[in-house]
Chains A and B, each alone.
Chain A
Protein backbone atom coordinates (compact mmCIF):
# COMPACT_ATOMS: atom_id res chain seq x y z
CA UNK A 1 0.00 0.00 0.00
CA UNK A 2 1.36 3.37 -0.98
CA UNK A 3 1.34 5.80 1.96
CA UNK A 4 0.68 9.51 1.88
CA UNK A 5 3.36 10.22 4.43
CA UNK A 6 6.13 8.28 6.11
CA UNK A 7 7.88 9.79 9.11
CA UNK A 8 11.39 8.61 9.97
CA UNK A 9 12.13 9.23 13.64
CA UNK A 10 10.12 9.35 16.85
CA UNK A 11 11.45 12.13 19.05
CA UNK A 12 9.48 15.32 19.72
CA UNK A 13 9.79 16.35 16.04
CA UNK A 14 8.71 13.04 14.51
CA UNK A 15 5.83 12.45 16.90
CA UNK A 16 4.52 16.01 16.57
CA UNK A 17 4.62 15.59 12.78
CA UNK A 18 2.75 12.29 13.33
CA UNK A 19 0.13 13.96 15.50
CA UNK A 20 -0.55 16.72 12.97
CA UNK A 21 -0.54 14.51 9.88
CA UNK A 22 -2.78 12.00 11.67
CA UNK A 23 -5.27 14.74 12.50
CA UNK A 24 -5.15 15.78 8.86
CA UNK A 25 -6.27 12.24 7.93
CA UNK A 26 -2.98 11.39 6.23
CA UNK A 27 -2.59 8.11 8.19
CA UNK A 28 1.11 8.60 8.86
CA UNK A 29 3.44 5.64 9.23
CA UNK A 30 6.20 6.30 11.75
CA UNK A 31 9.45 4.35 11.78
CA UNK A 32 10.68 4.86 15.31
CA UNK A 33 14.27 3.82 14.70
CA UNK A 34 16.73 2.34 17.15
CA UNK A 35 15.86 4.77 19.91
CA UNK A 36 12.09 5.16 20.02
CA UNK A 37 11.22 8.45 21.70
CA UNK A 38 14.61 9.89 20.82
CA UNK A 39 17.16 11.59 22.99
CA UNK A 40 14.69 12.53 25.73
CA UNK A 41 14.34 8.86 26.63
CA UNK A 42 17.86 8.89 27.99
CA UNK A 43 17.37 11.95 30.19
CA UNK A 44 15.73 12.26 33.56
CA UNK A 45 13.79 15.39 34.50
CA UNK A 46 12.69 17.68 31.70
CA UNK A 47 12.08 21.01 33.38
CA UNK A 48 11.74 23.29 30.39
CA UNK A 49 8.95 21.71 28.37
CA UNK A 50 6.06 24.17 28.64
CA UNK A 51 2.89 22.85 30.24
CA UNK A 52 4.62 20.77 32.89
CA UNK A 53 5.30 23.24 35.71
CA UNK A 54 6.61 20.50 38.01
CA UNK A 55 8.80 19.00 35.29
CA UNK A 56 8.29 15.60 33.74
CA UNK A 57 10.52 12.58 33.18
CA UNK A 58 11.86 12.44 29.61
CA UNK A 59 10.69 8.87 28.88
CA UNK A 60 7.24 9.65 30.26
CA UNK A 61 6.92 12.80 28.16
CA UNK A 62 7.75 10.81 25.05
CA UNK A 63 5.22 8.12 25.94
CA UNK A 64 2.60 10.84 26.10
CA UNK A 65 3.68 12.23 22.72
CA UNK A 66 3.28 8.76 21.25
CA UNK A 67 -0.08 8.10 22.89
CA UNK A 68 -1.39 11.40 21.58
CA UNK A 69 -0.21 10.68 18.02
CA UNK A 70 -1.57 7.12 17.94
CA UNK A 71 -4.90 8.29 19.36
CA UNK A 72 -5.50 10.03 16.03
CA UNK A 73 -4.40 7.09 13.95
CA UNK A 74 -0.62 7.43 13.58
CA UNK A 75 0.96 4.01 13.13
CA UNK A 76 4.22 3.74 15.04
CA UNK A 77 6.57 0.85 14.35
CA UNK A 78 9.73 0.04 16.28
CA UNK A 79 11.69 -0.40 13.07
CA UNK A 80 14.88 1.09 11.77
CA UNK A 81 15.01 2.38 8.20
CA UNK A 82 18.03 0.98 6.39
CA UNK A 83 17.81 2.54 2.92
CA UNK A 84 15.88 5.20 1.03
CA UNK A 85 15.40 6.10 -2.63
CA UNK A 86 14.02 9.57 -3.32
CA UNK A 87 15.04 9.63 -6.98
CA UNK A 88 11.59 8.73 -8.29
CA UNK A 89 8.02 8.88 -7.11
CA UNK A 90 6.58 7.40 -5.05
CA UNK A 91 9.56 7.55 -2.71
CA UNK A 92 10.90 4.25 -1.46
CA UNK A 93 11.90 3.35 2.09
CA UNK A 94 13.43 0.06 3.16
CA UNK A 95 13.49 -1.66 6.53
CA UNK A 96 15.95 -4.47 5.83
CA UNK A 97 14.09 -6.46 3.12
CA UNK A 98 10.71 -4.81 3.59
CA UNK A 99 9.91 -2.03 1.17
CA UNK A 100 7.45 0.84 1.65
CA UNK A 101 6.36 3.55 -0.78
CA UNK A 102 5.08 7.02 0.01
CA UNK A 103 4.13 10.33 -1.61
CA UNK A 104 5.93 12.39 1.01
CA UNK A 105 8.62 11.92 3.62
CA UNK A 106 9.29 13.66 6.90
CA UNK A 107 12.80 13.17 8.22
CA UNK A 108 13.07 13.52 11.98
CA UNK A 109 16.02 11.28 12.74
CA UNK A 110 17.54 13.69 15.26
CA UNK A 111 21.07 13.60 16.53
CA UNK A 112 23.14 11.26 18.63
CA UNK A 113 26.17 11.48 20.85
CA UNK A 114 29.49 11.89 19.08
CA UNK A 115 32.07 9.24 19.69
CA UNK A 116 35.85 9.46 19.60
CA UNK A 117 36.08 7.03 16.71
CA UNK A 118 38.34 4.46 18.35
CA UNK A 119 37.95 0.79 17.64
CA UNK A 120 38.20 -0.09 21.32
CA UNK A 121 35.49 2.44 22.08
CA UNK A 122 33.14 0.88 19.57
CA UNK A 123 33.81 -2.61 20.84
CA UNK A 124 33.33 -1.72 24.50
CA UNK A 125 30.20 0.38 24.05
CA UNK A 126 27.76 -0.91 26.65
CA UNK A 127 30.56 -2.77 28.41
CA UNK A 128 32.03 0.19 30.23
CA UNK A 129 31.91 2.82 27.51
CA UNK A 130 28.74 4.88 27.62
CA UNK A 131 27.21 7.99 26.11
CA UNK A 132 24.50 8.21 28.74
CA UNK A 133 25.26 8.80 32.40
CA UNK A 134 21.62 8.63 33.43
CA UNK A 135 21.29 5.19 31.80
CA UNK A 136 24.48 3.56 32.91
CA UNK A 137 25.76 5.51 35.94
CA UNK A 138 24.02 3.06 38.24
CA UNK A 139 26.50 0.34 37.29
CA UNK A 140 29.47 2.36 38.52
CA UNK A 141 28.70 2.51 42.22
CA UNK A 142 31.91 3.21 44.13
CA UNK A 143 33.88 2.94 40.91
CA UNK A 144 36.19 5.37 39.19
CA UNK A 145 34.95 6.89 35.95
CA UNK A 146 36.15 9.28 33.29
CA UNK A 147 34.00 11.82 31.47
CA UNK A 148 35.32 13.06 28.13
CA UNK A 149 34.41 16.57 27.04
CA UNK A 150 34.37 20.21 28.06
CA UNK A 151 30.87 21.46 27.39
CA UNK A 152 27.69 21.68 29.42
CA UNK A 153 26.83 18.05 28.87
CA UNK A 154 30.25 16.95 30.18
CA UNK A 155 29.72 19.03 33.35
CA UNK A 156 26.20 17.66 33.75
CA UNK A 157 27.24 14.05 33.24
CA UNK A 158 30.20 14.41 35.62
CA UNK A 159 28.02 15.97 38.32
CA UNK A 160 25.35 13.32 37.86
CA UNK A 161 27.89 10.50 38.06
CA UNK A 162 29.09 11.61 41.50
CA UNK A 163 25.83 10.15 42.82
CA UNK A 164 27.29 6.72 42.12
CA UNK A 165 31.00 6.85 41.40
CA UNK A 166 33.69 7.29 44.03
CA UNK A 167 35.75 9.48 41.73
CA UNK A 168 35.03 11.31 38.48
CA UNK A 169 37.78 12.67 36.26
CA UNK A 170 36.97 14.96 33.37
CA UNK A 171 39.38 14.52 30.46
CA UNK A 172 39.49 17.59 28.25
CA UNK A 173 41.76 18.22 25.30
CA UNK A 174 42.10 21.98 25.92
CA UNK A 175 43.06 24.02 28.96
CA UNK A 176 39.68 25.56 29.52
CA UNK A 177 36.06 24.46 29.33
CA UNK A 178 33.52 25.86 26.90
CA UNK A 179 30.67 25.01 29.29
CA UNK A 180 28.58 27.74 30.88
CA UNK A 181 29.83 29.30 34.11
CA UNK A 182 27.10 27.89 36.29
CA UNK A 183 27.69 24.34 35.05
CA UNK A 184 31.45 24.61 35.51
CA UNK A 185 31.01 25.95 39.04
CA UNK A 186 28.62 23.19 39.96
CA UNK A 187 31.07 20.55 38.76
CA UNK A 188 34.21 22.14 40.20
CA UNK A 189 32.63 22.56 43.63
CA UNK A 190 32.05 18.85 43.80
CA UNK A 191 34.93 17.25 45.66
CA UNK A 192 34.61 13.96 43.79
CA UNK A 193 35.37 15.70 40.47
CA UNK A 194 38.83 16.55 39.16
CA UNK A 195 40.11 17.52 35.72
CA UNK A 196 42.85 16.18 33.47
CA UNK A 197 43.60 19.11 31.14
CA UNK A 198 45.14 19.05 27.67
CA UNK A 199 44.63 15.36 27.21
CA UNK A 200 42.80 13.06 24.87
CA UNK A 201 42.04 9.37 24.93
CA UNK A 202 44.06 7.27 22.50
CA UNK A 203 42.82 3.88 23.56
CA UNK A 204 40.31 2.35 25.93
CA UNK A 205 41.72 -0.64 27.75
CA UNK A 206 39.58 -3.61 28.61
CA UNK A 207 37.46 -6.41 27.24
CA UNK A 208 33.79 -7.27 26.86
CA UNK A 209 34.18 -10.01 29.43
CA UNK A 210 35.93 -8.04 32.13
CA UNK A 211 34.96 -4.47 31.36
CA UNK A 212 37.29 -1.52 31.37
CA UNK A 213 40.36 -1.13 33.53
CA UNK A 214 41.81 2.07 32.13
CA UNK A 215 42.51 4.42 29.26
CA UNK A 216 45.60 5.53 27.43
CA UNK A 217 45.88 9.33 27.58
CA UNK A 218 47.94 11.52 25.30
CA UNK A 219 49.10 14.93 26.44
CA UNK A 220 48.16 17.30 23.63
CA UNK A 221 51.26 19.47 24.22
CA UNK A 222 54.20 17.10 24.55
CA UNK A 223 52.43 14.02 23.06
CA UNK A 224 53.50 11.88 26.01
CA UNK A 225 51.16 9.02 26.77
CA UNK A 226 50.24 7.54 30.11
CA UNK A 227 47.78 5.06 31.46
CA UNK A 228 44.96 6.21 33.71
CA UNK A 229 43.01 3.63 35.66
CA UNK A 230 39.20 3.73 35.51
CA UNK A 231 36.19 1.43 35.36
CA UNK A 232 34.03 3.41 32.98
CA UNK A 233 34.28 6.05 30.26
CA UNK A 234 31.41 8.42 29.51
CA UNK A 235 31.41 10.37 26.25
CA UNK A 236 30.18 13.95 26.30
CA UNK A 237 31.84 15.50 23.28
CA UNK A 238 28.76 16.82 21.53
CA UNK A 239 26.25 15.52 19.04
CA UNK A 240 26.08 14.71 15.37
CA UNK A 241 23.00 14.61 13.17
CA UNK A 242 21.76 11.16 12.12
CA UNK A 243 21.97 11.66 8.38
CA UNK A 244 23.89 8.64 7.12
CA UNK A 245 20.94 7.59 4.95
CA UNK A 246 20.63 10.98 3.32
CA UNK A 247 24.08 12.53 2.93
CA UNK A 248 24.36 11.55 -0.71
CA UNK A 249 20.95 12.84 -1.76
CA UNK A 250 20.01 15.78 0.43
CA UNK A 251 21.83 19.07 0.89
CA UNK A 252 23.60 19.36 4.20
CA UNK A 253 25.97 21.82 5.86
CA UNK A 254 29.59 21.22 6.86
CA UNK A 255 28.62 19.57 10.11
CA UNK A 256 26.18 17.27 8.30
CA UNK A 257 22.92 18.93 9.34
CA UNK A 258 20.23 18.84 6.65
CA UNK A 259 19.53 22.19 5.05
CA UNK A 260 15.93 23.35 4.88
CA UNK A 261 14.56 26.32 2.97
CA UNK A 262 14.28 29.36 5.16
CA UNK A 263 10.96 29.62 6.96
CA UNK A 264 9.95 26.09 6.00
CA UNK A 265 11.01 22.49 6.48
CA UNK A 266 11.42 21.76 2.76
CA UNK A 267 14.66 20.07 1.69
CA UNK A 268 16.12 20.25 -1.82
CA UNK A 269 13.87 17.38 -2.92
CA UNK A 270 10.23 18.36 -3.30
CA UNK A 271 8.04 16.28 -1.01
CA UNK A 272 10.87 15.51 1.43
CA UNK A 273 10.80 17.53 4.64
CA UNK A 274 13.14 17.66 7.62
CA UNK A 275 12.44 18.73 11.19
CA UNK A 276 13.97 18.62 14.66
CA UNK A 277 17.63 18.24 15.55
CA UNK A 278 18.58 16.67 12.22
CA UNK A 279 18.28 20.14 10.68
CA UNK A 280 18.92 22.31 13.75
CA UNK A 281 22.29 22.71 15.37
CA UNK A 282 21.37 26.02 16.96
CA UNK A 283 18.44 25.52 19.36
CA UNK A 284 18.19 21.73 19.81
CA UNK A 285 15.35 21.84 22.32
CA UNK A 286 12.39 19.49 22.68
CA UNK A 287 10.00 22.36 22.19
CA UNK A 288 11.72 23.70 19.06
CA UNK A 289 11.87 20.16 17.65
CA UNK A 290 8.15 19.79 18.27
CA UNK A 291 7.62 23.17 16.63
CA UNK A 292 9.45 22.23 13.45
CA UNK A 293 7.71 18.84 13.52
CA UNK A 294 4.40 20.66 13.35
CA UNK A 295 5.74 22.83 10.51
CA UNK A 296 6.81 19.82 8.48
CA UNK A 297 3.39 18.20 8.92
CA UNK A 298 1.70 21.32 7.60
CA UNK A 299 4.27 21.60 4.79
CA UNK A 300 3.66 17.96 3.82
CA UNK A 301 -0.09 18.41 3.95
CA UNK A 302 0.08 21.40 1.60
CA UNK A 303 2.43 19.57 -0.72
CA UNK A 304 0.06 16.58 -0.93
CA UNK A 305 -2.88 18.91 -1.49
CA UNK A 306 -1.06 20.56 -4.39
CA UNK A 307 -0.19 17.13 -5.86
CA UNK A 308 -3.86 16.20 -5.85
CA UNK A 309 -4.86 19.38 -7.67
CA UNK A 310 -2.29 18.96 -10.41
Chain B
Protein backbone atom coordinates (compact mmCIF):
# COMPACT_ATOMS: atom_id res chain seq x y z
CA UNK B 1 0.00 0.00 0.00
CA UNK B 2 1.37 3.37 -0.99
CA UNK B 3 2.26 5.82 1.79
CA UNK B 4 -0.25 8.22 0.29
CA UNK B 5 -3.09 5.86 1.14
CA UNK B 6 -4.48 6.38 4.62
CA UNK B 7 -6.53 4.01 6.70
CA UNK B 8 -9.88 5.33 7.83
CA UNK B 9 -11.61 4.03 10.94
CA UNK B 10 -14.53 5.03 13.11
CA UNK B 11 -12.06 6.96 15.29
CA UNK B 12 -10.54 9.14 12.59
CA UNK B 13 -13.39 9.27 10.06
CA UNK B 14 -14.72 12.62 11.25
CA UNK B 15 -11.41 14.43 11.37
CA UNK B 16 -9.86 12.81 8.29
CA UNK B 17 -12.89 12.65 5.99
CA UNK B 18 -15.82 14.77 7.13
CA UNK B 19 -13.79 17.76 8.29
CA UNK B 20 -11.15 17.51 5.57
CA UNK B 21 -10.35 20.68 3.63
CA UNK B 22 -9.49 18.71 0.51
CA UNK B 23 -11.79 16.21 -1.24
CA UNK B 24 -11.42 12.64 0.02
CA UNK B 25 -11.63 9.39 -1.93
CA UNK B 26 -12.68 6.53 0.38
CA UNK B 27 -12.18 2.98 -0.86
CA UNK B 28 -14.64 0.68 0.96
CA UNK B 29 -13.13 -2.82 0.81
CA UNK B 30 -12.73 -6.20 2.53
CA UNK B 31 -10.24 -9.05 2.53
CA UNK B 32 -12.76 -11.48 1.04
CA UNK B 33 -13.66 -9.24 -1.90
CA UNK B 34 -11.90 -10.30 -5.12
CA UNK B 35 -12.69 -7.19 -7.16
CA UNK B 36 -11.35 -5.09 -4.26
CA UNK B 37 -7.92 -6.64 -4.77
CA UNK B 38 -8.11 -5.74 -8.40
CA UNK B 39 -8.83 -2.12 -7.71
CA UNK B 40 -6.33 -1.69 -4.85
CA UNK B 41 -3.27 -0.95 -7.06
CA UNK B 42 -5.36 1.53 -9.07
CA UNK B 43 -6.34 3.35 -5.87
CA UNK B 44 -2.63 3.36 -4.92
CA UNK B 45 -1.71 4.99 -8.21
CA UNK B 46 -4.42 7.59 -7.91
CA UNK B 47 -3.28 8.40 -4.37
CA UNK B 48 0.20 9.15 -5.68
CA UNK B 49 -0.91 11.09 -8.75
CA UNK B 50 -3.48 13.18 -6.89
CA UNK B 51 -1.49 13.54 -3.68
CA UNK B 52 -1.62 17.36 -3.90
CA UNK B 53 -5.34 17.55 -4.62
CA UNK B 54 -7.15 14.62 -3.04
CA UNK B 55 -6.82 12.66 0.17
CA UNK B 56 -7.12 8.92 -0.49
CA UNK B 57 -7.79 6.21 2.04
CA UNK B 58 -9.23 2.77 2.61
CA UNK B 59 -12.00 1.72 4.91
CA UNK B 60 -12.32 -1.94 5.86
CA UNK B 61 -16.04 -2.77 5.97
CA UNK B 62 -15.45 -5.79 8.20
CA UNK B 63 -14.04 -3.54 10.90
CA UNK B 64 -16.09 -0.43 10.21
CA UNK B 65 -19.46 -1.84 9.25
CA UNK B 66 -21.16 1.08 10.97
CA UNK B 67 -19.73 3.63 8.53
CA UNK B 68 -20.48 1.39 5.56
CA UNK B 69 -24.13 1.10 6.52
CA UNK B 70 -24.35 4.80 7.40
CA UNK B 71 -23.44 5.63 3.80
CA UNK B 72 -25.63 2.88 2.36
CA UNK B 73 -22.80 0.80 0.95
CA UNK B 74 -24.33 -2.47 -0.28
CA UNK B 75 -21.66 -3.63 -2.68
CA UNK B 76 -17.89 -3.37 -2.74
CA UNK B 77 -15.54 -2.17 -4.00
CA UNK B 78 -17.25 1.17 -3.55
CA UNK B 79 -15.36 4.42 -3.96
CA UNK B 80 -17.07 7.35 -2.28
CA UNK B 81 -15.82 10.84 -2.99
CA UNK B 82 -16.39 13.24 -0.10
CA UNK B 83 -16.32 16.99 -0.54
CA UNK B 84 -17.07 19.41 2.27
CA UNK B 85 -18.22 16.56 4.47
CA UNK B 86 -20.76 15.07 2.08
CA UNK B 87 -20.72 12.41 -0.62
CA UNK B 88 -20.23 14.24 -3.92
CA UNK B 89 -20.18 11.14 -6.09
CA UNK B 90 -19.60 7.39 -5.91
CA UNK B 91 -18.42 4.50 -8.00
CA UNK B 92 -19.59 0.97 -7.29
CA UNK B 93 -17.70 -2.05 -8.63
CA UNK B 94 -14.22 -2.43 -10.08
CA UNK B 95 -13.86 -0.03 -12.99
CA UNK B 96 -10.79 0.98 -14.99
CA UNK B 97 -8.62 3.84 -13.80
CA UNK B 98 -9.73 6.34 -16.43
CA UNK B 99 -13.36 5.98 -15.27
CA UNK B 100 -12.33 6.77 -11.70
CA UNK B 101 -10.16 9.74 -12.59
CA UNK B 102 -12.88 11.06 -14.89
CA UNK B 103 -15.39 11.15 -12.05
CA UNK B 104 -12.78 12.38 -9.60
CA UNK B 105 -11.83 15.24 -11.94
CA UNK B 106 -15.44 16.26 -12.31
CA UNK B 107 -15.83 16.56 -8.54
CA UNK B 108 -12.63 18.28 -7.44
Binding site for B on A (CB under 8 A): 34-37, 40-44, 58-59, 62-63, 78-80, 96, 125-128, 130, 134-136, 138-140, 208-211, 232
Contacts and interface: CB of A to CB of B under 8 A. Distances in A.
Interface string B41-66: 01000000000000000000110000
Majority SS of interface residues in chain B?
loop
Contacts of B108: none
A289 B94 CA distance: 23
Contacts of A59: 34, 37
B96 A80 contact: yes
Minimum-distance CB pairs A-B, first 8? A126-B92, A59-B34, A41-B34, A126-B75, A139-B74, A136-B75, A36-B38, A128-B74
Contacts of B73: 139
Contact of B38 (A37, A208, A211): A37
24 contacts: A34-B93, A35-B35, A35-B38, A35-B94, A41-B38, A42-B34, A42-B35, A59-B34, A63-B37, A78-B42, A78-B96, A79-B96, A126-B93, A127-B92, A128-B74, A135-B34, A135-B76, A136-B75, A138-B30, A138-B32, A138-B61, A139-B68, A139-B73, A232-B74
A39 to B, nearest CB: 10
Contact of B74 (A43, A44, A58, A126): A126
A187 to B, nearest CB: 22
A136 B34 contact: no
A137 to B, nearest CB: 10
A300 B69 CA distance: 49
A70 to B, nearest CB: 13
Contacts of B10: none
